[in-house]
């Protein structure tokens, strides 16, 4: 099987807040003008179980190249299960997962990563006793990225200048927001074509959530496809082209992000309105 080549040196734009751009009409990235291509991630009728308990029921979704897609849903809906299955961390019991046309359903995580998928896990999972630099280098273990890790580091440090200032510091001493930046930076070191983000806003003050989401927008503007799962519906819908509502392991609504934002079902299911 041929592995997808890593994208060429990305820039992820410059640090600092960028003005909110209007959503495209479905043919552009998240307000960034990124052209949307063919399907990059195809999830078809995915079933995932924990022993006898079923967590996902026939979940189908697509992320096209250059697209930002969000999955929103309440506690326990199956959001983490979905991204972990896509990343090859949790095995599917049924259905298919394809990345760039290649069936990754049965691939272990490291091969899915080599195929261009990187995950920023729920709760960040950085290595607290390692330095910022060493945490980032862990993300570059995929061979082509390792060879070019210098460029990868420059790119991540440009995206998150605060990490550059703290390169020799132990990751455990960083603030929550900085740890989230580090987790995103570590994932980007693998030069993914698809970035999976599991609740990047979790436990962060609103100003830091702004910063993290601004960075995600810049990564997407550079052509990386993004699948973000969130309980913070407003944030995720604001940057997404399309959205899915996951309720008790099933997709119960989907459509352009703007439509889901106004959907009574989303408001009732997640916001309790
Ligand atoms: N390791 C596990 N063993 C057994 N059941 C699990 C396990 N992990 C998750 N589950 C169950 O699977 C379902 C989906 O959980 P999941 O963590 O994917 O939801 P989530 O949408 O990510 O929730 P949250 O918003 O709290 O992060 C829940 O019913 C949960 O209790
Ligand atoms: Mg979760």
Give the per-residue SS3 of 70-87. Answer: EEECCCCCCHHHHHHHHC
The pLDDT value given to residue 264: 77
Q: How confident is the model at residue 248 (pLDDT cuts 50, 70, 90)?
A: very high
* Nearest-angstrom CA–CA distance, 84 and 104: 13
The pLDDT value given to residue 152: 84
The pLDDT value given to residue 20: 34
- Distance (Å) of CA 37 to CA 41, 63, 107, 228: 11, 10, 24, 18
Q: Give the least confident one: 7-16, 89-98, 102-111, 204-213.
A: 7-16
Q: How many CB atoms lie within 10 A of CB 110?
A: 11
pLDDT at 169 over 80: yes
- Average pLDDT (161-175) is 94
The pLDDT value given to residue 146: 59
pLDDT at 3 over 50: no
* Nearest-angstrom CA–CA distance, 138 and 213: 23
CA of 249 to the centre of ligand 1 (A): 9
- State percent of the chain over pLDDT 90: 62
CATH architecture of 39-271: 3-Layer(aba) Sandwich (3.40)
- Average pLDDT (169-185) is 94
Q: Specify the pTM.
A: 0.87
The pLDDT value given to residue 271: 67
User: Where do the structural domains in the chain lie, given as residue ranges?
Assistant: 39-271
Residues having CB closer than 6 A to ligand 1 are 50, 53, 55, 73, 75-81, 122, 231
* Nearest-angstrom CA–CA distance, 5 and 14: 25
CA of 165 to the centre of ligand 2 (A): 31
């Amino acid at each position: 099987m041929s592995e997808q080549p890593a994208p060429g040196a990305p820039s992820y734009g410059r640090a600092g807040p960028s003005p909110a751009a209007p959503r495209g009409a479905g043919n552009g990235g998240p307000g960034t003008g990124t052209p949307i291509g063919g399907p990059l991630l195809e999830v078809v009728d995915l079933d995932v179980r924990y022993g006898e308990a079923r967590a996902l029921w026939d979940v189908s979704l697509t992320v096209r190249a250059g697209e930002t897609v969000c999955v929103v849903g309440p506690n326990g809906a199956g959001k983490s299960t979905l991204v972990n299955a896509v990343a090859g961390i949790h095995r599917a019991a049924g259905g298919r997962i394809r990345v760039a046309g290649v069936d990754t359903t049965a691939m272990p995580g490291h091969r899915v990563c080599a195929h261009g998928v990187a995950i920023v896990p729920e709760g960040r999972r950085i290595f607290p006793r390692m330095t910022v630099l060493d945490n980032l280098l862990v993300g570059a273990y995929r061979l082509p990225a390792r060879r070019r890790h210098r460029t990868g580091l420059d790119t991540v440090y440009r995206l998150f200048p605060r990490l550059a200032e703290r390169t020799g510091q132990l990751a455990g001493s960083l603030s929550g927001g900085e740890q989230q930046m580090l987790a995103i930076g570590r994932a980007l070191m693998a030069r993914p074509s698809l970035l999976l983000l599991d609740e990047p806003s979790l436990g962060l003050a609103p100003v830091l959530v702004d910063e993290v989401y601004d960075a995600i927008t810049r990564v997407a503007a550079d052509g990386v496809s993004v699948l973000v799962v969130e309980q913070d519906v407003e944030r995720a819908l604001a940057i997404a082209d399309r959205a899915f509502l996951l309720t008790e392991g099933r997709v119960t609504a989907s459509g352009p992000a703007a439509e889901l934002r106004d959907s009574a079902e989303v408001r009732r299911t997640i916001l309790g309105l």
